Chain A
C-alpha cells in the first residue's frame, strides 16, 4: 500500500515536471542579425539590392594587392624597391608569393558571390517580382562572373570553371579547364548579360544612376574579350553597336559623343564617379571599413598626403613610361597620371604642391592617378578605405577597342581612326591620320596607365613580342647626380613569365591543378 503511494507520488511529480517541457518554437531560432538567404528575394526591392555586394568587397584583395603590381610594375610602367613586389620587376614570382594567392582567392570570391545569385535567385524569388528584374539581376551576376574569369584566364591561363559552388563544395578535387573553354564560358555569360540586363542611356547629371552595369556594359566587355581571341569582326561589330547606342560619353574633349563638361583629369575625382564614360567601375563605399573602400591611394600616394598613416609610396612611374609620353605638357594625361616635382593640384587637400624632390623609388616622380587626398576633401572614408571608384572598363578604352578591331581588319578603318582620334583630342594631342597597331598599343599604354591594363596588352600581342618588349623595358633609376643620369636595369623575361603560377596554398589542397586541363562540359 505504502509502496504504491510512493510510486504514485513519484509519477505525479514526474508528470508535473513534464509540464515545463518546451514547445517546438523554443527551438526555431532564425538568424536575428542578418537575413536568412533562403527567405530573401521576395520583393522587387530585395532582388534589386541583391547584386550590390558584387561591386566591391570580393574585388578588394585583387585591386589592392595585385591588379597594379601585374598591370603596372610587371609591365614596366612602374618600378619599386619593395622586395615583395620587386619579384614582379624581375620576373622572380613563384607560387609562394602572397600576391598570387590573393589574386586567386579574390577573383574566385567574385565567382562565388556571383554564382550564389545565379544559382539561388531563380528558385527562391517571390512570385510578384517582375521577370525582367530577375533577369537583370542574374545578368549582372553573370557579367561579374565573366570579368572575374577574364582576369583569371589572363593571369593564370587554364583554371577550374566553377558554375555552381554548392555542387563544387563537395568535390575534393577540382579539375582545371582549357583556356579556350574559359573564354567560351565568359562569352556565354556576357551574351546572357547583353540579352537580359537593362538597356539604358547614361545620365549626364545624376551619376549614381550609372553605377550598375547594363546590357551595353556587357556588350562593351564582350568586344574586349573578342579582341583577346583575335575575332576582330565581332569585336568591331560590338564596339560599333555600343558607340551607336549613345549610352556612354567620353568625359571631356570635343567629340560628338562626348560630355564637354568633363575632362580626363576629372575622370579620377570622387565627385565624378559614375560619370557617363564609366562602363564598369568598382563602387567603393564611404564607410571607412576595411575592404569596403578603395585602398589604392594608400599605396600610390606619398607619406602625409592622405591624412593617415598610409601613403606608402609603394611604386614610382618607370623611366620607360615617363619617356613614352609624346609631350608631358601638351598631353593632359601626364599631369593626371604622374606627379612631377612641383606639380600643383588645386583640388587635393585645398591645394597640394608636389615636393620638388619627389623621388619615389628613384624615379624623380610619383603617381597621381587614383590619389585623391584626405577624406575631408574627397567624399569621406578612412585610412585604406576611400570612396573613389576604380575603373575596370570605360568608354575611352571602348573607343580604342573599336579602333584596334578596325585596323586589324574587323571593320571600317575610317570609323576606327575617328574613334582613335577622339581619345587623342581629349588628351590634348593632334590627330594621327593613319594609325598603326603600334600607335594604338602606345595610345592604350598612356590612356590607361595606372588603370592596370598594360601587362595584358603586352602579353596578348604574342609570346615573341611580349618577351622582347618586357626584356627591353627600362626598369632602372635616376641617379642623384645633376642632371640625373639613367642607371639602367633590364631583366630578361621568358615565355613562362607571361602567366603566373597557381598559389602554393591551393596547389597543396587541390591535386587537380597539377594535372592536365580537362574540357569543360557545357551541356549541364
Chain B
C-alpha cells in the first residue's frame, strides 16, 4: 500500500528538494525534530546540527514537530530552503511539570494545574510577577489594587475561599513558601507600607512579590484544586503558585542583555467643575448653610477656569529596566547568574519604585549518586509611597480641592485655605503634601534555597533542603515644617521604622521510584519544619532645627511610638504521596499531610489534609483507535482537603497593649481570646477533560469544580457595643471559626496554533473563568457587614449573609426624584422626615425618592436590599501571537463581565451637601422650582438622606481591555553573524492601551481594598493604572 502510494506521488507531481535548519527560540539547533509532509508518511528527522533535507511535492505542506514544542505547519510554496524556529510549548503534553515537592509528566497529572506561558509575558513592562499572570491562567482572577508602583494585587484562585481578610494564594519560590498577603495578617499584622505619617487604610500595601525580578522566572505553575494543593496542607486553601527561576543549560555560555524604556501616562480624568461652575455652586450652597457670601464669587461668569488639581497631581512618568544574565554549563555543572535594575516613576506626584536584583542559580553533579545546588536571589527595592484609596488620599484631595485655591502663591509658596470657614472644612493641598511629605520604604531581601540529593540505592533518593527568606525593611517618613494658606505645619516630625522578617525552612524528602512491566510508581515521604519571625522597631522625633537634618534624637520631641513589635510562629509537617501509573493510561495520586501549627492553643494544633486524584488517558485505549476527531484525550478528577491558618500568632489568647498615659505606662486589653480556635478547611472536588483536535492545532482543557470551605478564621463581634468598634481603646473582636461557603465554577482554556496565511503563524490562548460564590452558613439571620471609611463617615456598604454571595452591595433602591407635589401625594414617609419645604430635617421636592421595599408604607432601615454584586459572571484573557518572517505581534485582551462597582468617589463628588469642596458639573443640574426635570437632587444640608448608600452609586463594572500590544522584530541570522550576536530583538509595546467600559470612574479594575474580600469592587479613590508606551531591546551573545 505504501509502495503504491509512494509510486503514485513520485510519478504524479513535480518533486522538490527542501532543506534547512530547525532551531529553538534561543537559536540553538534542535536535533531529532520530526519533519513530515502533511497527509503522507514521507518524512525525516533533523541531524545533530538541526539540519534536514527532504524531497516533497511542490504544493506540499510540512509539519515540524518536536516534543515540548509547538508544531509548525508550513506551506512549501516553491521554496527550497526553509529554516524553522520552533516555539516551546508550555501547555503541551509530554512535558515535565513542577508540582509540589517534585515534578511530574504533564500527561500523567490528575490534579488541576495551570501553566502560565512565561514567553508571552516577558516583554511586558510590569515589575512584579503577580501583575503579569493576569488573564494568563483559567480560574485565576488577578486585579491590580492600585497603580502605585510596587503595590499589591489581589489574586483569587477559583473564587473567594474565605471571609478571612486574605484570600491570597501561597507562592512557592524555588521551594520557599512566601505568603501573598500584603497586610502581614499572619505575622505582625502591621502592613509593611503603613504605620506613621499618612497611615490609614489608604496607604497602598506593597506586593510581597515585588522583590522578584520577573525576567528570572522560568515557569509559573498554578495549583488550583485541593488534590494538587493538599500536599501544601495547611497553607494551600487559597491555591498555590509555584515559581521556578531559571537554571543554566549545558553547552555554550550565553550572555543576554534586555532593556526597555517606557513612558507611563494617565489614561483619563474626571470632568470636574471649573472655577465658574464651582463659584455658582458655592453661592447656592452658601445660602443653604447661611454662610457669609464670598465677594469674589458674586459674578461667576467673570472668573477664569481656576486650578485643575487633577492635572497638577498626575503627570507622565518615566520607567526603565535593564537586565543582564549569564548562563551555561558543562555536563556536570550549570549556572545562571543575573542582575537587573528597574526604575519606575509613578504617575502621581511623589510616588515611585526602584529595584535592583541579583540572582545566582548553580547546580552540580558531585558524582553519579550525589547532586547539589542552590538558588539565591537578593533584592533591594525602594518605594516612594503616595497615599491613595482613602478619602484623605492624594487622589481624593485632588478631586475635592476647589478650583478657587491656587497650588502656589505668587511668591512660590504653597497656597491653601485662608478663611476660618475654609479651614474648618479645608481640603489639604495635595501638591504641598505630596511634595513635602516623604514616605520612603526600602526593602532588602535575600531568598534562597540549598539542596543536596543522594541516590541511596537504585530508585531511592534522599533530598535535603534548607531555605530561607530574610528581609530587612526600612521606612523613613518625614513631614517638614511648611505652610499653605493659613495652615501652618509649624513642627516637623520624623518617623523611622526598622523591621526584620526572618523565615527558615528545613525539608527532608525521601523518594522511591520503581517501574516494572507497565507499572510505574513514585512514593514520597517527607518532613519539614519552618519558623517565621518578625522584629520591628519604630521611633519618632520632631521639632528639629530646620528641615535639612531630621535625625532622630536631634529634635526637641523625644516621642516614642509603641516602639517594638515582635513575634514568631512555627509549623511542622509530615507528608506522604504515592503516584501510580499503569501503561501511562491510568494514573492515580494520593497524598496526605499532617501539620502542626503554633497558631492554635495546645490541643487544636494538628490538622490532617488528605487528597486523591486520578486520570485516564482515553486516547491510549485500543477501543478508541478508530476515533480521530480528537487526540490526546484525558479525563481526570480529584478530591482533597486543605487548610488555612493565616492569622497572627497567639490570636487565640488575649494580650495587653501598652499606653502612654499622663500617670505612667498603662495597659489596655487588646483583644478577646478564644482558646477553641482551630483550622479553617476547604474541601474541593475537581473534574476535567483535556484534548486536542484538528491535528493538534486546537487544544482544550475544561474543568469544573465544587469547593466547600468552612470554619473560617474570622475576627468577628456582632456589634460595636461589645467591643467599642473602631474607637481608640476598643477591644478587638475575637478570632472565631464560623460559617461555610461554596464556590462552584468552570475553567476553560483553549489554544490554537496554525499558519493562517503565507508564512504567517497564529498562536492563540483563550482562558475563561467562571465561579459562583454562595455562603451556605454564617450566623443565622445576622449578616457580616463590610465597612468603608468614606469622607462623611464610615459606612456599611457590603453585606454577607447566608444564602447569598460574599460581600454583596447593600442599600436603598432609588425610584427617582420627588419632582412635583403629585409625587409626594401618598408617597411613603422617608426616614420619618415630614414632607415639608425646609432646609433640613424634612423631605421635599428635589429629594431622592427611595423605594419602600418591604411595602410597610414607610421608608426606613428595613428597606435596604441587595443593590449590586461585585462578583463577575466571568473573566477572561485572550492572548494572540502572530509571526511573519522575523516579525512578531502579540495582542492581549483581558476583561471581566457582569460585576458591579460601588463608586464611592462618585458619591462624594455628587453629594451636593458640601461646602468648599469641588463636585462634578452634573451637581449644578440640581432640582429647583425652575428646573423640575433636573438630573440631580436639590442641594441640601449635611443631614440629607439623598446620599444614603443606594443603587445611585452602583455601576456596571464590565470591561474589555486591550491590555497589551507588542510588536517585535528579530534581526535575521545573516546580519547577526556579522555582528557576532546570537539573537537580537527590538520591540515596542503599549500596555493598558484602551478599555471598553461604561464605568464612569478612572478605571473599572477596582479590586479589593487592600485585599479585603469583604470590600471587593468598591472604588474609594484608587490609584489608577497608567497607559504605558515601551521601547525594548533583547540581545544575546
Interface residues of A (CB under 8 A from B): 5-6, 9-10, 13-14, 17-18, 20-22, 24, 26-38, 40, 49-61, 80-84, 86-87, 90-94, 96-98, 101-102, 104-106, 108-113, 116, 159-160, 162, 165-166, 168-169, 171-174, 208, 211-212, 273, 283-292, 302-304, 306-309, 311-314, 359-362, 374-376, 380, 382-383, 387, 389, 489, 503-510, 514
Q: Is the CB of A6 within 8 A of B731?
A: no
- Shortest CB-to-CB span from A492 to chain B, Å, is 10
Q: How far is the CA of A160 from the CA of B650 in the complex (A)?
A: 31
Q: Is the CB of A169 within 8 A of B421?
A: no
Chain B residues within an 8 Å CB radius of A29: 567-570, 598, 649-650
Given A31-B653, A35-B656, A291 and B728 contact (CB-CB distance below 8 Å): yes
Q: Is the CB of A56 within 8 A of B506?
A: no
Chain A residues within an 8 Å CB radius of B649: 29, 31
Chain B residues within an 8 Å CB radius of A55: 661-663, 666
Chain A residues within an 8 Å CB radius of B565: 33
Against A, the Cβ 8 Å flags (1 = close, 0 = not) of B604-623 are: 01000000000000000000
Look across to chain A and name the residue whose beta carbon is closest to the beta carbon of B864.
A508
Contacts of B557-593 to chain A: CB distance below 8 A: 557, 559-561, 564-570, 572
Q: Is the CB of A105 within 8 A of B725?
A: yes
Interface residues of B (CB under 8 A from A): 289-292, 420-421, 423-426, 456-457, 459-460, 462, 486-491, 493, 506, 508, 510, 512, 525-527, 529, 531, 540, 542-543, 556-557, 559-561, 564-570, 572, 596-598, 602, 605, 649-650, 653-670, 672-673, 717-731, 733-734, 779-780, 782, 785, 787, 792-796, 831, 840-841, 861, 864, 913-915, 941-943, 945, 948
Look across to chain A and name the residue whose beta carbon is closest to the beta carbon of B862.
A514
Q: Is the CB of B729 within 8 A of A58?
A: yes
Chain B residues within an 8 Å CB radius of A311: 488
Q: How far is the CA of A17 from the CA of B660 in the complex (A)?
A: 50
Q: Is the CB of A81 within 8 A of B529?
A: no
Q: Is the CB of A104 within 8 A of B721?
A: yes
Q: How far is the CA of A506 from the CA of B569 in the complex (A)?
A: 36
Chain A residues within an 8 Å CB radius of B795: 505
Chain B residues within an 8 Å CB radius of A86: 289, 941-942
In the A-B complex, the 9 residue pairs with the smallest Cβ-Cβ separation, listed nearest first, are: A52-B666, A109-B724, A58-B729, A105-B725, A291-B728, A57-B729, A98-B793, A283-B662, A287-B660
Select which of B424, B462, B840 is within 8 A of A312 by beta carbon. B424
Chain B residues within an 8 Å CB radius of A36: 650, 653-656
Q: Is the CB of A56 within 8 A of B661?
A: yes
Chain A residues within an 8 Å CB radius of B673: 37-38
Q: Is the CB of A9 within 8 A of B456?
A: yes
Q: Is the CB of B506 within 8 A of A20?
A: yes
Chain B residues within an 8 Å CB radius of A374: 490-491
Q: Is the CB of B664 within 8 A of A49?
A: yes
Chain A residues within an 8 Å CB radius of B717: 169
- Shortest CB-to-CB span from A482 to chain B, Å, is 16
Given A20-B527, A81-B291, A83-B913, A32 and B665 contact (CB-CB distance below 8 Å): no
Chain A residues within an 8 Å CB radius of B727: 58, 60-61, 102, 105-106, 108-109
Q: Is the CB of B655 within 8 A of A32?
A: no
Select which of A6, A104, A288 is within 8 A of B542 by beta carbon. A288
Chain A residues within an 8 Å CB radius of B728: 57-58, 60-61, 106, 109, 290-291
Q: Is the CB of B486 within 8 A of A303?
A: yes
Chain B residues within an 8 Å CB radius of A93: 943
Chain B residues within an 8 Å CB radius of A308: 488-491
Select which of A20, A291, A509 is within 8 A of B785 by beta carbon. A509
Given A32-B567, A116-B669, A309-B487, A52 and B785 contact (CB-CB distance below 8 Å): no
Q: How far is the CA of A509 from the CA of B731 in the complex (A)?
A: 18
Chain A residues within an 8 Å CB radius of B486: 303-304
Select which of A34, A104, A212, A503 is within 8 A of B658 by beta carbon. A34
Q: Is the CB of A27 within 8 A of B525?
A: no
Given A29-B570, A33-B564, A59 and B914 contact (CB-CB distance below 8 Å): no
Look across to chain A and name the residue whose beta carbon is closest to the beta carbon of B662.
A283
Chain A residues within an 8 Å CB radius of B661: 52-53, 55-56, 283-285, 292
Q: Is the CB of A112 within 8 A of B943?
A: no
Given contacts A109-B731, A165-B731, A171-B722, 9 further A-B contacts (CB under 8 A): A30-B653, A58-B729, A102-B727, A108-B730, A169-B723, A303-B420, A374-B491, A506-B721, A506-B725
Q: How far is the CA of A208 from the CA of B664 in the complex (A)?
A: 10
Q: Is the CB of B659 within 8 A of A52?
A: yes
Look across to chain B and name the residue whose beta carbon is closest to the beta carbon of A18.
B527
Q: How far is the CA of A32 from the CA of B650 in the complex (A)?
A: 10
Interchain Cβ contacts under 8 Å between A and B, 25 examples: A20-B506, A27-B605, A33-B564, A34-B656, A38-B673, A52-B659, A53-B669, A82-B424, A83-B941, A86-B942, A98-B793, A98-B794, A101-B794, A104-B725, A108-B722, A110-B729, A169-B734, A285-B661, A287-B559, A291-B729, A306-B490, A489-B290, A505-B720, A505-B796, A508-B864
Q: How far is the CA of A59 from the CA of B723 in the complex (A)?
A: 14
Q: How far is the CA of A514 from the CA of B794 in the complex (A)?
A: 21
- Shortest CB-to-CB span from B952 to chain A, Å, is 15
Chain A residues within an 8 Å CB radius of B861: 504, 507-508, 514
Look across to chain B and name the residue whose beta carbon is closest to the beta carbon of A358.
B420
Q: Is the CB of B722 within 8 A of A174?
A: yes
Q: Is the CB of B718 within 8 A of A171?
A: yes
Q: Is the CB of B793 within 8 A of A292?
A: no
Q: How far is the CA of A489 from the CA of B792 in the complex (A)?
A: 26
Most chain B beta carbons < 10 A, residue from A57, A306, A389: A57
Chain A residues within an 8 Å CB radius of B597: 27
Chain B residues within an 8 Å CB radius of A91: 841
- Shortest CB-to-CB span from A101 to chain B, Å, is 7
Most chain A beta carbons < 10 A, residue from B726, B779, B841: B841
Look across to chain A and name the residue whose beta carbon is closest to the beta carbon of B509.
A17
Q: Is the CB of B508 within 8 A of A303?
A: no
Select which of A172, A360, A380, A510 is within 8 A of B779 by beta carbon. A172
Given A98-B793, A109-B728, A289-B559, A13 and B456 contact (CB-CB distance below 8 Å): yes
Q: How far is the CA of A109 from the CA of B717 in the complex (A)?
A: 13
Most chain A beta carbons < 10 A, residue from B560, B663, B664, B782: B663
Given A35-B667, A510-B718, A285 and B598 contact (CB-CB distance below 8 Å): no
- Shortest CB-to-CB span from B464 to chain A, Å, is 9
Q: How far is the CA of A162 from the CA of B672 in the complex (A)?
A: 15
Q: Is the CB of A10 within 8 A of B512?
A: yes
Chain A residues within an 8 Å CB radius of B490: 304, 306-309, 374
Chain B residues within an 8 Å CB radius of A171: 718, 722
Chain B residues within an 8 Å CB radius of A102: 727
- Shortest CB-to-CB span from B620 to chain A, Å, is 30
Most chain B beta carbons < 10 A, residue from A49, A111, A309: A309
Q: Is the CB of A303 within 8 A of B488?
A: yes
Chain B residues within an 8 Å CB radius of A13: 456, 460, 462, 510
Q: How far is the CA of A331 from the CA of B341 in the complex (A)?
A: 72
Q: How far is the CA of A309 from the CA of B487 in the complex (A)?
A: 5
Q: How far is the CA of A121 from the CA of B388 in the complex (A)?
A: 43
Select which of B421, B493, B660, B663 is within 8 A of A81 by beta carbon. B421
Most chain A beta carbons < 10 A, residue from B291, B487, B661: B661
Chain B residues within an 8 Å CB radius of A6: 457, 459-460
Q: Is the CB of B942 within 8 A of A84?
A: yes
Q: Is the CB of A9 within 8 A of B460?
A: yes
Q: Is the CB of B794 within 8 A of A38?
A: no
Q: How far is the CA of A33 from the CA of B667 in the complex (A)?
A: 13
Q: Is the CB of A17 within 8 A of B510?
A: yes
Chain B residues within an 8 Å CB radius of A56: 659, 661-662, 729
- Shortest CB-to-CB span from A212 to chain B, Å, is 7
Q: Is the CB of A87 within 8 A of B664?
A: no
Q: Is the CB of B566 within 8 A of A90?
A: no
Given A91-B841, A112-B669, A506 and B780 contact (CB-CB distance below 8 Å): no
- Shortest CB-to-CB span from B188 to chain A, Å, is 9
Q: How far is the CA of A476 from the CA of B637 in the complex (A)?
A: 77
Q: Is the CB of A105 within 8 A of B720?
A: yes
